[in-house]
Structure 1
Amino acid sequence: MSSVSAYYNGKTVLITGATGFMGKVLVEKLLRSSPEVKAVYILVRPKAGQSMQERVANMLKCKVFDRVREDCPNFHEKIKPINAELTQPKLAISAEDEEELLTHINIVFHCAATVRFDEPLKHALQLNAMGTQRLLELARQMQKLEAFIHISTAYANCVRKRIDEVIYPPPAEPKKLFDLVEWLDESIIQDITPKLLGDWPNTYTYTKALSEYLIQQEKGNLNIAIIRPSIVGASWHEPFPGWIDSFNGTSGIFVAAGKGILRSVIANNEAVADMIPVDVVINLTLAAGWYTAVHRPKNMLVYNCTTGGINPFFWGEMVVSLVSITEVLYWNYNSYSSELVRTLIDQNYSKDQISYLSLTILLSFRMMKIINRLHKSLMLLQYFSTQSWDWSSDNMNMLMSHLNPEDKKLYNFDVRQLHWSEYIESYCLGAKKYLLNEDMSGIPAAKQHLRKLRNIRYAFNTTLLVIIWRIFIARSQMARNIWYFVVSLCYKFLSYFRASSTLRH
């Protein structure tokens, strides 16, 4: 019997960021592992011309819910969307919705954040820090709240090489910073951002560090835990191996490498590529929610959810893994170019109108845009791909020791069992299937085609080497002498090997 699943059955849960990558996996796992959960409230805002209802409808159509949809076709009835905006006072929640939350919620999972490294400081502060502060204010008024779980990042304190599971002093006093950005002009904030960030590489890690300190200062009597995942990647096992729907982190690198757009990455081969599968993070998050609510630790616990100190994987190894599965990455004979050409023809021109020149120009502009975005992403990632950190994981190990055998299986976050080469291959296949929505049926043919090309390359290189060597031998007495010596040595070795085999028998 799973203690964690049993705890969530009958509970009412509030999740922020439910439409995001990690949020979707959290909602799916919660509904699938605890089918008797009473209700799952999600805070959703209108975005990109879509209403709250449209965004929720699109979220529920996602493939990530296929397993729970099969087990429980009416799972969507337990999801209760609330129109909210974290950047607005009181979260812009209506009085009626606020009352409902205050009287029903048992546990809060705060996943909402902007994860863009180059987000303007003001917006990053409003969402990551001030939004957290507003949610805390609401949580302190909840009458039945048992636990509040905040998703941070392992890189919140990346200015330190050794990162323990504690809250560190903030890069600035949060309230003074909030006042500063409220009255300063946007252009002035942009000008002083580098000085405000100091040693922090971007606004994301900076505001996450502020958020952790804010929680410590303003938690009141709430039972709170903080989860710090490193670079969150595709799923390991759940809901499907390799499930991914975001280009963030290493996903963009894998896709760009597979499409032949990316040929090199700035990285230190000996630095740890601290990736963590999304289902590992969610399993730890749900287990931490159970432990926080049931055991009520005296102090707020921080969980470093990382792999580097337990099962390290290096950037150099990642390159080798990617090269070894090139046939998986180079989807269907360079399908990117053909798809791009077909899209441009269908969307912009009729076939009799388009010329090779105009097509070349269109492709050039499109590719330049893609390459510029990719270059920008790589520059932002360089800080993390060229150095390593040492994270402690005592609290994660402690939590694992409190799980019974059923929970360890159902909520597995033991990354010692993770085989990196298998995971990277699953990641790449998942990116093709779930992120790019490409046909998987062409992979066997693509593998066979690439094997033929590889054999042709080996044969050509061997033939070329023999020709060059023969020409060299014909012109140099020294080269001939070396060649005869090597052949003689090989003959003597083979003769000795045969004689030794004959004597043994």
Structure 2
Amino acid sequence: MSSVATYYNEKSVLVTGATGFMGKVLVEKLLRSSPDVKAIYILVRPKAGQLMQNRVEHMVKCKLFDRVREECPNFHEKIKPISAELTHPNLAINPEDTAELLSEVNIVFHCAATVRFDEPLKHALLLNVRGTQQLLALARQMKNLETFIHVSTAYANCNQRYIDEIIYPPPMEPKKLLDLVEWMDEFLIEEITPKLIGDWPNTYTFTKALAEYLLQQEKGNINVAIVRPSIVGASWHEPFPGWIDNFNGTSGIFIAAGKGIIRTVKCNVEAVADIVPVDVAINLILATGWYTAVHRPKSMLIYNCTTGGMNPFCWGEMEHHVISTYKRNPLEKAFRIPKANMTSNYLMHQYWTAVSHKAPAFLYDLYLRLTGRKPRMMKLFSRLHKSMTFFEYFTSRTWEWSSDNMNMLMNQLSPKDKKLFCFDVRQLHWSEYIENYCLGTKKYLLNEDMAGIPAAKQHLRKLRNIQYALNTIFLVIIWRIFIARSQMAQNIWYFVVNLCYKFLSYFRASSTLRH
């Protein structure tokens, strides 16, 4: 028997951020591993022009739920959506729903957060800190609550080089900062944001650090644990390899590289790419929920969910696997042949950006204008460069994370649970994982049929021929401008051409004699 899976049977679970990437995987795994779970309440934010029920219907129709759909066709009856808004007073939950949550919920998984690096500080504070504070206040009133699991990020304290499984005090009290932004003009907040966040690279990591500290301050008697995943990537095994549903982080960069749009990336090729598969993070979160509720640790435990310490993999290695995968399994209608140049040198990166990004984008947009179409490539490159600039902080550094609590929890699991809720990243084969990740972007993000690979390869051959033709034209132009004006250069040129001609003649004659 699985102790973890059995624990969640007949339990009522509340999940925030259930319509997001990690939240969806959490709900699916919970339904599949514990089919007798009593109910999964999900807080759903109202969206303009889209009813809450429609958002949930769209979520459960996702391919992610195909496995659980086969095993339990009526699984959607377990999912109970609650209209809520984390940034509003009392989460904007109506009294009837509040009463039901207070009497029914046994476990809370708080996954909701804004993950945008360039989120304005006020909004990031309201969602990541105030939202956590209000959810915690609701949880303290729950009559049958057994545990509260908060999903943070391994980069919440990225201003440290070595990150232990502890709460690091922030430079200011979260409640005071919340009070400050309540009355301050948004323009003024934006002006002082760099000073407020200090040596944190963005508002996301800063507010996640504040949320952790606030949890420690206000948890009261609740059994709270924090899980800190690093860069969350496509699934490793569950529900099937390579599943991904968003363009955030590495996924968008992989696709841009596969399409031949991105040719240069500024990063440290020797820095550790601390990517953790989403199913690894979810398995750890569910195991943490079980351990925290059943064993009731005396203090709040924090779990660094990372791969760098136990199974390191560098950005330079990743570039090789990504490009080779996309060459074997090309994306449809690629802009150029997949190729990438990774460098930590600023001047070299700027050179390749001008030559490989801006110049081709300008020429392609010029071609679109001349043919009466709307230019789009310069705008696309601008967005990609902005994203890569934000991401550069994490691709140019290596951190060390303590993983004592993660290892302790692994040792607490039975052999059955170690298999069913596997989060042992030492078993991860990076080459296989990256290949499945890239194929996942093709199948699940771009919705491309694998049967179209031969046509995509033909398109790459066409692009290669175009590249050869352009290179030839370029060489002829160079010859006409420079070589044709120098007698010595002409002599060298004729010598090389004559040598090539003799070699080809010899090769042709040898081939004729053999036949």
Q: Please report the TM-score for the alignment, with normalisation by the length of structure 1.
A: 0.85
* Higher alpha-carbon deviation: 211-220 or 327-336: 327-336
Does the Cα contact within 8 Å between 1:32 and 1:68 map onto a contact in 2? yes
SS of aligned partner of 1:265: strand
SS of aligned partner of 1:442: helix
Correspondence for 2:433 among 412, 423, 430:
423
**Distance in 2 between residues matched to 1:336 and 1:69, nearest whole Å:** 39
Alignment of 1:8-157 (within 5 A): 8-157=8-157
2:247 match: 247
Overall identity of the aligned pairs, in %: 73
- Code of the residue aligned with 2:11 in structure 1: it is K
Is residue 197 of structure 1 aligned with residue 197 of structure 2?
Answer: yes
Cα shift at 1:322:
1.6
Does the Cα contact within 8 Å between 1:45 and 1:51 map onto a contact in 2? no
Cα shift at 1:470:
10
1:214 match: 214
Does the Cα contact within 8 Å between 2:336 and 2:463 map onto a contact in 1? no
Does the Cα contact within 8 Å between 1:163 and 1:389 map onto a contact in 2? yes
Cα shift at 1:110:
0.2
- Code of the residue aligned with 2:444 in structure 1: it is Y
Does the Cα contact within 8 Å between 2:330 and 2:457 map onto a contact in 1? no
Alignment of 1:383-394 (within 5 A): 383-394=393-404
- Code of the residue aligned with 1:10 in structure 2: it is E
* Higher alpha-carbon deviation: 222-231 or 439-448: 439-448
**Distance in 2 between residues matched to 1:59 and 1:200, nearest whole Å:** 34
Does the Cα contact within 8 Å between 2:259 and 2:333 map onto a contact in 1? no
Change (3 A) 1:44 1:457: closer
- Code of the residue aligned with 1:322 in structure 2: it is V
**Distance in 1 between residues matched to 2:370 and 2:29, nearest whole Å:** 46
Cα shift at 1:213:
0.1
Cα shift at 1:446:
3.6
- Code of the residue aligned with 1:168 in structure 2: it is Y
Does the Cα contact within 8 Å between 2:147 and 2:289 map onto a contact in 1? yes
SS of aligned partner of 2:450: coil
- Code of the residue aligned with 2:432 in structure 1: it is E
* Higher alpha-carbon deviation: 285-294 or 438-447: 438-447
Does the Cα contact within 8 Å between 2:102 and 2:143 map onto a contact in 1? yes
Does the Cα contact within 8 Å between 2:368 and 2:374 map onto a contact in 1? no
SS of aligned partner of 2:451: coil
SS of aligned partner of 1:299: coil
SS of aligned partner of 1:167: coil
Cα shift at 1:267:
0.5
Cα shift at 1:358:
4.4
Does the Cα contact within 8 Å between 1:111 and 1:151 map onto a contact in 2? yes
Structure 1 runs, 4 residues or longer, greater than 4 Å off: 355-361, 447-458, 472-475
**Distance in 2 between residues matched to 1:384 and 1:311, nearest whole Å:** 18
**Distance in 2 between residues matched to 1:78 and 1:330, nearest whole Å:** 40
* Higher alpha-carbon deviation: 374-383 or 438-447: 438-447
Change (3 A) 1:395 1:357: closer
Alignment of 1:96-495 (within 5 A): 96-328=96-328, 330-334=330-334, 358=369, 360=371, 362-364=373-375, 366-447=376-457, 471=495
Cα shift at 1:330:
3.2
**Partner deviation per Cα, 1:334-387 (whole Å, 9 max, x = no partner):** 2899xxxxxxxxxxxxxxxxx9764756452x2222111101000000100101
**Distance in 1 between residues matched to 2:297 and 2:180, nearest whole Å:** 36
Structure 1 alignment gaps of length 5 or more: 338-354, 476-505
**Distance in 2 between residues matched to 1:361 and 1:244, nearest whole Å:** 36
Change (3 A) 1:293 1:86: same
**Distance in 2 between residues matched to 1:409 and 1:167, nearest whole Å:** 30
**Distance in 2 between residues matched to 1:104 and 1:387, nearest whole Å:** 45
2:503 match: none
SS of aligned partner of 2:264: coil
- Code of the residue aligned with 1:392 in structure 2: it is S
1:490 match: none
- Code of the residue aligned with 2:211 in structure 1: it is S
Cα shift at 1:328:
4.6
**Distance in 2 between residues matched to 1:448 and 1:395, nearest whole Å:** 51
**Partner deviation per Cα, 1:278-322 (whole Å, 9 max, x = no partner):** 000000000000000000000100000000000011011111112
**Partner deviation per Cα, 1:72-97 (whole Å, 9 max, x = no partner):** 11000000000100000110111111
SS of aligned partner of 2:276: strand
- Code of the residue aligned with 2:202 in structure 1: it is N
**Partner deviation per Cα, 1:89-128 (whole Å, 9 max, x = no partner):** 1101111110000000000000000000000000000000
- Code of the residue aligned with 1:98 in structure 2: it is T
1:489 match: none
**Partner deviation per Cα, 1:440-461 (whole Å, 9 max, x = no partner):** 2112454577589989999xx9
SS of aligned partner of 1:82: strand
Does the Cα contact within 8 Å between 1:327 and 1:446 map onto a contact in 2? no
**Distance in 2 between residues matched to 1:416 and 1:452, nearest whole Å:** 41
Does the Cα contact within 8 Å between 2:229 and 2:304 map onto a contact in 1? yes
Cα shift at 1:260:
1.1
SS of aligned partner of 1:26: helix
* Higher alpha-carbon deviation: 395-404 or 166-175: 166-175
Change (3 A) 1:419 1:61: same
- Code of the residue aligned with 2:321 in structure 1: it is S
Change (3 A) 1:451 1:472: closer
Cα shift at 1:471:
3.5
**Partner deviation per Cα, 1:15-53 (whole Å, 9 max, x = no partner):** 000000000000000000000000000000112421211
Does the Cα contact within 8 Å between 2:154 and 2:305 map onto a contact in 1? yes
Does the Cα contact within 8 Å between 1:224 and 1:292 map onto a contact in 2? yes
Q: Please report the TM-score for the alignment, with normalisation by the length of structure 2.
A: 0.83
**Partner deviation per Cα, 1:199-234 (whole Å, 9 max, x = no partner):** 000000000000000000000000011000000000
Does the Cα contact within 8 Å between 1:328 and 1:428 map onto a contact in 2? no
